[in-house]
Amino acid sequence: MANFKTHVGGAGLVGLAYVGVSVYAGVPFTWNVAGLLLATTWLGGILPDMDHDTSQSLVEIIGIISSTLPLLLFLPNADAVLAVVIPAHIVLHLVLRQVPYLEKATGPWAMARVVIVALAIGLVFIWLRRPEEFKRLSLTVLAAVVLIQIALPIFKEITVHRGLFHTIPAMIAAGAGLYLVLDGEYRLWAAGGLTLGGLTHLTLDEIFAVDWSNQRLKKSFGTALSVWQPDQPLGSAALWVLCAALIVRGIGWG
Ligand SMILES: [Zn+2]
């Protein structure tokens, strides 16, 4: 199985290529759109492992959601600030990783780092954009960040790693779901980035299931890029139904 660094690097490279493809396809280049596509592809690249028990993915996903979601909820045209928020998020995490304890990749100290970064970003941006409502909004941001900390680990508890979430239909459903949640001109591209990043992850896991040194297949070969979980037929069927429903709804037939 590919490790976390491989997934982050792989999804990053695919994300850059995806930005290139979008420009080639006629999407006007702006840092906001490029940032959005990079962020969604990167997020997709770590999404399938978020239910892994010792996963850094969960911490990273909670981190990026904590830093961006409160702003998306409370600031008008918040998508316009993502181009600043995402680099700020990355830099702050890099800086805090130099601090003893806060350098941990998982566990309570990693979560503390997530909270510090999310609050710092949230409070600064609200102060800059809505100073008159700073007090009210900052309390809401605090509540949102805390809720995200609680909600996602619960999600992790109720899913099985390499179960339904680590499949092609789950990544299609994630993209379709994102498409329905977002609005704006480039939501199809953003949704496509999430699915593309997820498929990149599954492909990397499959590639790393090959033992290159003696050209043998490891036992995990064939389990990463799955469209169906044989031990969870009902769940697999439900997932495909969900995919179809989200896509139909996205197209506007439903
Ligand atoms: Zn994986």
103: amino acid identity, one letter? E
Q: Determine the distance separating the centroid of ligand 1 and the alpha carbon of 192, expressed in angstroms.
A: 19
Q: Determine the distance separating the centroid of ligand 1 and the alpha carbon of 226, expressed in angstroms.
A: 11
Q: Determine the distance separating the centroid of ligand 1 and the alpha carbon of 88, expressed in angstroms.
A: 27
Q: What is the pLDDT of residue 60?
A: 83
CA atoms within 13 A on the CB side of 171: 32
Q: Determine the distance separating the centroid of ligand 1 and the alpha carbon of 120, expressed in angstroms.
A: 31
Measured in whole angstroms, the distance separating CA 241 from the mean position of its chain's CA atoms is 23
What span, in angstroms and rounded, lies between the C-alpha atoms of 85 and 118?
10
Tell me, what DSSP letter sits at residue 226? Answer: B
Does residue 96 contact residue 117 with C-beta atoms inside 8 Å?
yes
Q: What is the pLDDT of residue 208?
A: 81
Domain-wise residue ranges, the chain: 14-26+160-254, 52-158
Q: Determine the distance separating the centroid of ligand 1 and the alpha carbon of 213, expressed in angstroms.
A: 21
Q: Determine the distance separating the centroid of ligand 1 and the alpha carbon of 234, expressed in angstroms.
A: 22
What span, in angstroms and rounded, lies between the C-alpha atoms of 79 and 69?
10
| Tens-level pLDDT at each residue, the chain (254 residues) | 677 888 889 999 999 999 999 999 999 888 888 888 998 998 899 888 876 655 677 788 888 888 888 887 777 666 666 778 888 898 999 999 999 998 888 888 888 899 999 999 989 988 888 888 888 888 888 888 888 888 777 766 666 655 777 889 999 999 998 888 887 788 899 999 999 999 999 999 888 876 555 556 666 666 667 788 777 788 888 889 888 888 888 887 65
Q: Determine the distance separating the centroid of ligand 1 and the alpha carbon of 75, expressed in angstroms.
A: 34
Give the bridge partners for 217, in sequence order: 210
Q: What is the pLDDT of residue 158?
A: 67
Q: Determine the distance separating the centroid of ligand 1 and the alpha carbon of 159, expressed in angstroms.
A: 14
Does residue 86 contact residue 161 with C-beta atoms inside 8 Å?
no
Q: Determine the distance separating the centroid of ligand 1 and the alpha carbon of 235, expressed in angstroms.
A: 19
What span, in angstroms and rounded, lies between the C-alpha atoms of 80 and 186?
13
- Considering the entire predicted model, what is its pTM? 0.72
Q: Determine the distance separating the centroid of ligand 1 and the alpha carbon of 49, expressed in angstroms.
A: 5
Q: Determine the distance separating the centroid of ligand 1 and the alpha carbon of 127, expressed in angstroms.
A: 39
3-state DSSP assignment of residue 45: helix
Q: Determine the distance separating the centroid of ligand 1 and the alpha carbon of 7, expressed in angstroms.
A: 8
Residue 217, phi then psi, degrees to nearest 5: -90, 135
**Angle separating helix axes 108-129 and 134-158, nearest 10 degrees:** 150
Give the bridge partners for 211, in sequence order: 216
Q: Determine the distance separating the centroid of ligand 1 and the alpha carbon of 212, expressed in angstroms.
A: 18
Q: What is the pLDDT of residue 188?
A: 92
Alpha-helix runs per DSSP H in the chain = 4-24, 31-46, 56-74, 79-96, 108-129, 134-158, 168-181, 187-207, 233-251
Q: What is the pLDDT of residue 190?
A: 92
Q: State the CB neighbour count (10 A cutoff) for residue 159.
A: 16
Q: What is the pLDDT of residue 198?
A: 95
Q: Determine the distance separating the centroid of ligand 1 and the alpha carbon of 166, expressed in angstroms.
A: 7
